[in-house]
Amino acid sequence: MCFKKKKEAKETTEKKKRVRPFKRRFRLVMMDDSNFEEVWSFRLTLGNIVYSISLIILIFILVGGILMTFTPLKHWIPDYPDAKIRQGIIDNSIKVDSLAQLIDIQDQYIVNLKQILAGDIKTETPAFKSLSENRSEIIDSLNQREFDSIIREKVEFDRQTSVSVLQTPVNQTNIATLQFFPPVKGVVSSTFNSKEQHFGIDIVTKPSSPVCATLSGTVIYKGWTLEGGNVVQIQHTNNVVSVYKHNAVILKNQGDYVLVGEPIGVVGNTGEYSTGPHLHFEIWHNGVPVNPADYVSFN
């Protein structure tokens, strides 16, 4: 029992020795050097000194963080990206993504064009359906897109007037002998001008009017471009390609075979180069743009 008490007393003494340096008191004195008079004094302990230094460091860190976050001082930090640099990075990322999409679209266009020229895609004219069957299919398609009755009547009228054109032979050897169907009826607001790189004509017509195929052929491109908005391209016989831009809606998919006069889209106002509802229409022959007004009447 006596041995146990001695052991506890010894442990208590050692503990006090360990704690004693932190409780040891000091006095910080400021004296007048001329007469050694005490001007100011402050009593300190080692614990107070450590606590005070830690508190000062913490305050400096908080104040510095606030200044660097909410003031222009953050721009003094090396390698700190400012708003212009960040915006430039975002813009470049968007441009790179857009270029990648354009390259993919161009590659797909080239592949489709090679397949058509090589005869891998069937381009035979399918069995001609009756006018009533075509009318029913067109009206069902337009109903699914919530078009009004005026458009359906327009489509029916165009289909009725295109019966003779549908029977035109497809083995023509000269583009001048082909009978082109007007994609829309309206007023030509901008004519063909290859010098200004305007390779087609602009036709102003009623909004939401159907856009029809000028000849029978296969859709080789359906997509979106920054300038042309919703664009459709159709490959025809005799190496003729027709292009339809600024559509509000595209009704056909890539690879579909369409008949002359069949609706492929709806007149719209899409793309940066569009200033109002209209159709930009192009005809290319052997890879060279030609003036559509020489072959099609839009009145």
Give the number of other Cβ atoms within 10 Å of residue 235's Cβ: 22
Its sign, for the CA torsion 133, 136, 138, 144, is negative
- Say if residue 105 is exposed, middle or buried (CB neighbours under 10 Å; 0-12, 13-18, 19+): middle
Residue 60 lies in a domain: yes
Q: How far apart are CA 142 and CA 87, in angstroms?
A: 43
Q: Judge whether 146 lies within some domain.
A: yes
> Is there a single domain that holds both residue 179 and residue 67?
no
Q: How far apart, in whole angstroms, are the C-alpha atoms of residue 292 and residue 299?
A: 13
Within a domain: residue 9? no
Q: Is the CB of residue 267 less than 8 Å from the CB of residue 247?
A: yes
Task: Flag whether 7 is in a domain.
Answer: no
Contacts of 290 (CB under 8 A, 6+ apart): 175, 283, 284
Q: Which token pair is 113? A: 């064009």
**Neighbouring residues of 230: CB distance < 8 A, sequence distance ≥ 6:** 223, 224, 245, 246, 247, 248, 249, 250, 265, 268, 270, 271
pLDDT along the chain (299 residues), means of 10: 60 62 71 78 74 89 82 67 70 81 83 74 46 52 51 54 41 72 92 91 91 94 91 93 94 93 93 90 93 89
Q: Identify whether residues 137 and 211 lie together within a single domain.
A: yes
In a domain, 13, yes or no: no
- Based on its alpha-carbon atoms, the radius of gyration of the chain, rounded to whole angstroms, reads 41
Do residues 285 and 256 share a domain?
Answer: yes
11 within domain boundaries: no
Q: Is residue 105 one of the residues assigned to a domain?
A: yes
Co-location of 136 and 244 in the same domain: yes
Query: Which CATH number belongs to the domain containing residue 244 in this structure?
Result: 2.70.70.10
Query: Quick check: is 3 in a domain?
Result: no
**Confidence (pLDDT) at 78:** 65
Give the three-class secondary structure for 253.
coil
Do 65 and 112 lie in one domain? The reply is no
Task: Supply the pLDDT for residue 172.
Answer: 41
Residues found in the chain:
299
**92 and 67 share a domain?**
no
* Cα–Cα distance, 147 to 137 (Å, whole number): 14
Same domain, 131 and 116: no
Cα 230 from Cα 214, distance rounded (Å) = 17
Contacts 24+ apart (CB under 8 A), 230-237: 230/265, 230/268, 230/270, 230/271, 232/264, 232/265, 233/109, 234/258, 234/264, 235/112, 235/113, 235/116, 235/123, 237/123, 237/170, 237/171, 237/172
Same domain flag for 136 and 41: no
Per-residue pLDDT, 5? 58
pTM higher than the cut 0.85: no
Domain extent, residue 199, equals 127-294
Same domain, 188 and 278: yes
Q: How many domains does the chain have?
A: 3
Cβ atoms of 253 and 298 within 8 Å: the answer is no
Same domain as 133, residue 116: no
Helix (H, G, I), strand (E, B) or coil at 106: helix
| One domain, residues 103 and 36 | no
Residues 159 and 49 in one domain: no
